[in-house]
Structure 1
């Protein structure tokens, strides 16, 4: 009887450790080119960001954007209320990366935990977008301007790919969506840019 209880306890410990290890090894990542809002918070460029400053890689929400995923006004935080400062437009005063219309731009992701990946998609705000309002689907072009299929592979620790930026002028927002292949989630990163 004692051996059975010891075996059961060991089994529970192993199962618990496996669950904890799996939970802590969830995929995580963010964009740093163009620099994302979460990275600006993490590196101290922007203050009053809440807990996102310690975990810029954790902006995770349901996948299926734009048909599913985070609600309008909560897109930059991935629908995670703890990261709501990312949805705050700050009067349109988020620092912006200088970019050029039509030019190829390199999009760079950093991963703190890699995961099987379906694809990466990049959306941009429409002409006339108001940078002092929270991001909504209606503010974005309905189709991504760049889609990078990834076929279920795991990305390396850093990953870059290039794409041409649509014609725009003034401040805009690029929404990068990293869709995980084997979970119901995706990762979201909003980058403010200026053409």
Structure 2
């Protein structure tokens, strides 16, 4: 009788373990960090469903984390928007230049915004833009970018708020361009990368 009871308990315990394991496999990863919401990034457009066929980034717009040190180090060319992560490669696909754009103006005072889900100790936030004549139908490379950031916001290792705004000025451009925002973490070897398509009117 005792053996039969122990067997039943073992079966119930095993079933619980299997169900829990399956739930963990089926659920999207819970890691979370941050994304830009002004200008709206490719990651956020995917989360909002404005852009479809995005892959797992639609559940994790905050998780584009790659090696820091950009532009001398960091993700390789052609993988910058995905932070070098193959599972987010849809962010690097130029889609023939058809990504939705944020409307901006040259010389405009602009409020650059991030939503963070983990506020890591931070070195800085840097904002880069593509050079005049950039082709939006091509993957982003260092040679396509002005590698001097047009806005740098230092944090010196402090932790930013969960919703932050950086005041800056839009560079002088015309037509469609790409802004690469890089959030460099102070106490790890990584940074977070966000690409936002903009159109200068």
Decide whether the 8 Å contact of 1:108 with 1:159 is kept in 2: yes
Distance across 2 between alignment mates of 1:39 and 1:68:
25
1:121 aligns with 2:126: yes
Note the C-alpha offset of 1:27: 6.1
**TM-score, normalising length: structure 1:** 0.86
The SS at the match of 1:41 is helix
Q: Which of 86, 102, 111 lines up with 1:106 in the alignment?
A: 111
Alignment check: 8 A CA contact 1:26 1:115 kept = no
Given that 2:32 and 2:60 are in contact with CA atoms closer than 8 Å, whether structure 1 keeps it comes out as: no
| DSSP-derived class of the 1:71 partner | coil
Q: Which runs of 4+ in 1 moved over 2 A?
A: 24-27
Verify the 8 A CA contact 1:25 1:113 in the aligned structure 2.
no
Report if the CA contact (8 A) 2:39-2:112 is conserved: yes
Pair 1:165-2:173 in alignment? no
Can you give the 5+ residue segments of structure 1 that lack an aligned partner in the other structure?
Answer: 1-23
Alignment of 1:61-80 (within 5 A): 61-80=66-85
Gaps of 5+ in 2: 1-28
- Number of paired residues? 172
Query: Which structure has the bigger radius of gyration?
Result: 2
Cα distance in structure 2, aligned partners of 1:53 and 1:114: 21
| SS of residue paired to 2:87 | helix
